[in-house]
């Protein structure tokens, strides 16, 4: 179930000096963006094996979130897959396999990249699970680093990139050395989204697995 979650960053057109640092951008985003929609492109790079070069795979789709605790990733290319957190359960649906995996949300989120975008309402809530700090700007973005406090080895480090106060990218490194770079574009910040956007109905005939 670890097909990572979520961002196309436009190049900066204003001097970085007029922007806040990454931590301030994250705080502003969490305060003002209670819900939103975006398109995303995700590139997953596995660590190189001995005698081989690193391998990368790219996928794309749409992303929606509503705090606290609801989000939806719909992967459309190259394979169809949907991940939905409805506030109680995280659902993963693989269209090709017609297989659904469900897991209690309290167990599935915690120190995960999705928690940064959807779970907490403010920095104080996020700092219960992550150590946060601003890091040097790169690629025309302000970045904040989030290191999970839980030492379970699954997630090593997350960087979240902003253009101004607009979410632009997530750079995720897991405990196995796999890197996922998610770039968001056409982000729309909304006051709320209908509850139906985060409701998952098991397709007819699908196999259901619980974790």
pLDDT of residue 199: 95
Residues of the chain whose pLDDT is less than 50? Answer: 1-19
Token pair, residue 189, equals 């910040």
What is the domain range of residue 132?
18-47+57-189
Q: Are strands 89-94 and 155-163 parallel, antiparallel or unpaired?
A: unpaired
* Per-residue pLDDT at 2: 39
Sheet holding 130-138, edge to edge: 130-138, 141-148, 155-163, 166-174, 179-190, 35-46, 55-66, 70-77, 81-85, 89-94, 99-104, 207-210
pTM: 0.81
Instruction: Give phi and psi for 173, each to the nearest 5.
Output: -120, 120
**Residue 110, pLDDT score:** 54
Residue 205 lies in a domain: no
CATH number at residue 100: 2.50.20.10
The angle subtended at Cα 149 by Cα 145 and Cα 154, nearest 5°, is: 85
Q: What pLDDT was estimated at residue 150? A: 76
Euclidean distance between CA atoms 156 and 171, whole angstroms: 11
Q: Looking at the 3D structure of the chain, how many domains does it have?
A: 1
Instruction: Please check whether residue 206 lies inside any domain of the structure.
Output: no
Give a yes or no: residue 1 inside a domain: no
């Amino acid at each position: 179930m670890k097909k990572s979650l979520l961002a196309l960053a436009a190049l900066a057109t204003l001097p970085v000096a007029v922007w806040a640092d990454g931590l301030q951008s994250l705080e502003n985003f969490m305060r003002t963006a209670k819900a939103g929609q975006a398109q995303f492109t995700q590139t997953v790079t596995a660590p190189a094996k001995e005698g081989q070069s690193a391998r990368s795979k790219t996928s794309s789709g749409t992303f929606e979130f509503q705090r606290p605790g609801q989000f939806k990733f719909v992967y459309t290319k190259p394979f169809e897959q949907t991940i939905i957190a409805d506030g109680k359960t995280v659902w993963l649906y693989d269209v090709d396999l017609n297989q659904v995996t469900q897991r209690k949300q309290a167990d599935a989120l915690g120190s995960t990249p999705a928690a940064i975008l959807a779970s907490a309402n403010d920095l104080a809530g996020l700092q219960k699970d992550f150590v946060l700090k601003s890091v040097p700007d790169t690629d025309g973005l302000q970045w904040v680093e989030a290191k999970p406090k839980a030492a379970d080895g699954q997630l090593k480090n997350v960087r979240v990139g902003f253009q101004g106060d607009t979410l632009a990218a997530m750079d995720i490194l897991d405990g196995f050395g796999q890197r996922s770079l998610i770039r968001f574009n056409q982000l729309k910040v909304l006051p709320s989204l209908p509850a139906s956007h985060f409701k998952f109905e098991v397709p007819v005939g699908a196999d259901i697995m619980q974790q």
